[in-house]
Amino acid sequence: MAYTAIATILHNSDADQTALNFAIDFARHHNAHLHVLCAGIDATEPGFYYAGAHAIAVQQNFDATQEQADRLETLARRRLIAEDIKWDVQAVTVMPGGLDPFLSDNMRFFDLVVLPAPHQGANDRTDVMTFEACLFGADVPVLVIPSVPKLSVTFDNIKIAWDDGTEAMAAARAAIPLLKTATTTTISIVDPPLHAPDRSDPGGKLANYLARQGAKVEVAIHARTQPSVASQLLMRANETNVDLIVMGAYGHSRMREAILGGVTRDILGLTNLPLLMAH
């Protein structure tokens, strides 16, 4: 298994381009094809226009959205034209309600999608919608890139946040091409349950499985000393010079995490490291 088809998505020409730049370098490192989707998103809300103005507003907003998609396409082509990688650029215009089904249908044909970290900086609701459509609708792993300069595309020290869940297992499988070449892979478990089925050997089955794939694996168990599991994972990751955190996304429902918080939402807002996430 290798990453041969990678995608990234642009929707704001004024946004930080760290994720695009990372996707280019990552595609080069893996000799993969990079697809750049430039999405103009029409924000028309029909209910806010008085009678008779709707048709005019829809056309004006569509024209502005098409111009935005064209600007993004131009930006992407200018950035890619001198790069020594395989690439293509696609410009589309969609209504807000059409973004999820469009991405769900199209992103499933890629091995990995590279996106900026939602819930950080100026990233908006569209970044969250894009992230969730790729994870849930397309069922494709997402490599989340924070807006941090000089991130390496070579992941030598990888941490897997393990809770024995289906989502964490999906993320570990998706990371196998990276784990095979890493110098160290640490299965990190925070406060494992006392009465779990694997309480005598937490993470042991996953360690054996990944070792058979060629990964160099060790298991680390941590007591929770930080306010949240997310801050605990990030603190240990930065202390041990981790390059990448691999973890499942949304072990609880998205609504529950939006209201009460959760590891996924917390770490997306806090991370200064790349995250490989799957559901």
Q: Which amino acid is at 219?
A: V
* Per-residue confidence (pLDDT) for residue 28, from 0 to 100: 98
Which residues does the chain have with pLDDT short of 50? 255-261
225: β partners: none
Distance between CA 78 and CA 102 in Å, rounded? 25
* Per-residue confidence (pLDDT) for residue 260, from 0 to 100: 37
* Per-residue confidence (pLDDT) for residue 227, from 0 to 100: 76
How many Cα atoms occupy the beta-carbon half-sphere of 149 within 13 Å? 0
- Residue identified by tokens 């990190």 is 188
* Per-residue confidence (pLDDT) for residue 140, from 0 to 100: 97
Contact 202, 219 (CB under 8 A): yes
Contact 149, 175 (CB under 8 A): no
* Per-residue confidence (pLDDT) for residue 194, from 0 to 100: 66
Secondary structure of the chain as H, E, C letters: CCCCEEEEEECCCCCCCHHHHHHHHHHHHCCCEEEEEEEEECCCCHHHCCCCCHHHHHHHHHHHHHHHHHHHHHHHHHHHCCCCCEEEEEEEEECHHHHHHHHHHHHHHCCEEEEECCCCCCCCHHHHHHHHHHHHHCCCCEEEECCCCCCCCCCCEEEEECCCCHHHHHHHHHCHHHHCCCCEEEEEEECCCCCCCCCCCCCHHHHHHHHHCCCCEEEEEECCCCCCHHHHHHHHHHHCCCCEEEEECCCCCHHHHHHHCCHHHHHHHHCCCCEEEEC
Query: Could you give all domains of the chain from N- to C-terminal order, each with its CATH number?
Result: 5-145 (3.40.50.620), 157-278 (3.40.50.620)
* Per-residue confidence (pLDDT) for residue 26, from 0 to 100: 98
* Per-residue confidence (pLDDT) for residue 42, from 0 to 100: 79
Contact 158, 175 (CB under 8 A): yes
* Per-residue confidence (pLDDT) for residue 62, from 0 to 100: 75
Contact 220, 187 (CB under 8 A): yes
Which is nearest to 29 in space by CA: 150, 176, 145, 178? 178
